[in-house]
């Protein structure tokens, strides 16, 4: 996979295969961000670079579901990394989400991931803020922090595979364009936070994987560190999702709210945002 390659989803490949006559059509080669005119016909898809994607390759892509392919000279390659865990970019109606071992890292039901990320940041990050983005992922919460006025965002991501997918994802471009304001940190935030000065951030976005995958990021010890690095009066947004709610066995956001209060935050649930807002 390489940065700045043309990207096509399996749904888009399927739609192109409906066209038999040689013609020019507008499609997106960057997951819906911008339109590009291409030519399509019996010989396949002709990209603006001159690269041809034969119909057989389009058919191969169309057979898969919810995939993104990078269109390189060696043929289409799925945007995924398989190793000890399986990481992939998954298309949605808006920005792609990140999937780790089949678990989506953003809301995609009734909400598109970029909008989901705006909601996580809005109301917490203020103009001129220095922000700690604990779980950087594809960079959406960092991008929204800058868009909403942050002057500096320290964005921590532990996983090299996720950082590689972030490089390929066109929706993450602003993360790199805002290099003066966004400082990417390649580290485990549980360790990294210990190295931070106390009261060094105006706001914190804490958007961890779900509790069953990263319980330590919901623990009292980590919450105490969040409190320590936040300035007095500073704001935290903690995304929790609503796990266990369908079975009605636990009210998880309330448990997080209680634990944040015990740590010393003033915290309240934000049901619309599936999280908890807290002030130091």
Chain residues that interact with ligand SAM, rule: CB under 6 A:
105, 117, 135-141, 156-159, 162, 188-190, 207-209, 214
Question: Minimum CB separation from ligand SAM for residue 159, in Å?
Answer: 4
Q: Would you say 40 or 205 has its CB closer to ligand SAM?
A: 205
Q: Label the pairing between strands 68-72 and 52-53.
A: unpaired
Q: Taking the CB of residue 211, how many other CB atoms lie within 10 A of it?
A: 17
The CB-nearest residue to ligand SAM is 137
Q: Would you say 208 or 275 has its CB closer to ligand SAM?
A: 208
Question: Minimum CB separation from ligand SAM for residue 131, in Å?
Answer: 12
Listed in order, strand segments (DSSP E) in the chain are: 6-9, 23-28, 35-41, 44-46, 52-53, 68-72, 75-78, 80-82, 86-90, 97-100, 103-104, 130-133, 152-157, 182-186, 201-206, 230-239, 266-270, 275-279
Q: Would you say 45 or 226 has its CB closer to ligand SAM?
A: 226
The DSSP result for 190-215, as a single string, is HHHGGGSPTT-EEEEEE-PSPTTT-G
Q: Would you say 59 or 186 has its CB closer to ligand SAM?
A: 186
Both structure tokens of 183: 């400082």
Using CA atoms, how far residue 162 sits from 79, 87, 130, 261, in Å, is: 11, 7, 24, 32
Q: Would you say 40 or 156 has its CB closer to ligand SAM?
A: 156
Element (H, E) at 223: helix 220-229
Question: Minimum CB separation from ligand SAM for residue 204, in Å?
Answer: 12
Q: Would you say 44 or 208 has its CB closer to ligand SAM?
A: 208
Element (H, E) at 252: helix 252-263
The DSSP result for 125-144, as a single string, is --TT-EEEESS-TTSHHHHH
Q: Would you say 58 or 274 has its CB closer to ligand SAM?
A: 274
Q: Round to whole Å and give the CA distance between 72 and 177.
A: 24
Q: Token match 């936040």: residue?
A: 230
């Amino acid at each position: 996979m390489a940065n700045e390659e043309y990207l096509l989803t399996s749904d888009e490949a399927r739609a192109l295969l409906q066209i038999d006559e040689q013609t020019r059509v507008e499609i997106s080669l960057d997951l819906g961000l911008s339109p590009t005119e291409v030519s399509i016909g019996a010989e396949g898809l002709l990209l603006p670079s001159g690269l041809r994607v034969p119909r057989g390759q389009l058919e191969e892509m169309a057979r898969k579901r919810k995939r993104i392919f990078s269109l390189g000279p060696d043929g289409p390659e799925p945007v995924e990394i398989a190793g000890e865990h399986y990481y992939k970019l998954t298309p949605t109606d808006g920005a792609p989400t990140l999937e780790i071992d089949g678990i989506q890292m953003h809301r995609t039901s009734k909400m598109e991931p970029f909008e989901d990320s705006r909601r996580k940041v809005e109301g917490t990050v203020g103009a001129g803020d220095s922000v700690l983005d604990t779980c950087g992922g594809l960079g959406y919460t960092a991008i929204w922090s800058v868009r909403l006025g942050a002057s500096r965002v320290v964005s921590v991501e532990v996983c090299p595979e996720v950082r590689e997918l972030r490089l390929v994802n066109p929706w993450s471009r602003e993360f790199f364009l805002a290099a003066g304001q966004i400082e990417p940190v390649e580290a485990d935030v549980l360790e990294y936070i210990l190295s931070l000065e106390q009261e060094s951030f105006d706001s914190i976005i804490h958007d961890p994987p779900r509790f069953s995958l990263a319980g330590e990021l919901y623990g009292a010890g980590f919450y105490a560190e969040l409190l320590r690095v936040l300035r007095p009066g500073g704001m935290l947004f903690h995304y929790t999702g609503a796990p266990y709610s369908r079975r009605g066995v636990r009210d998880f956001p309330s448990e997080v709210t209680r634990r944040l209060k015990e740590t010393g935050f003033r915290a309240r649930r934000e049901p619309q945002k599936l999280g908890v807002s807290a002030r130091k």
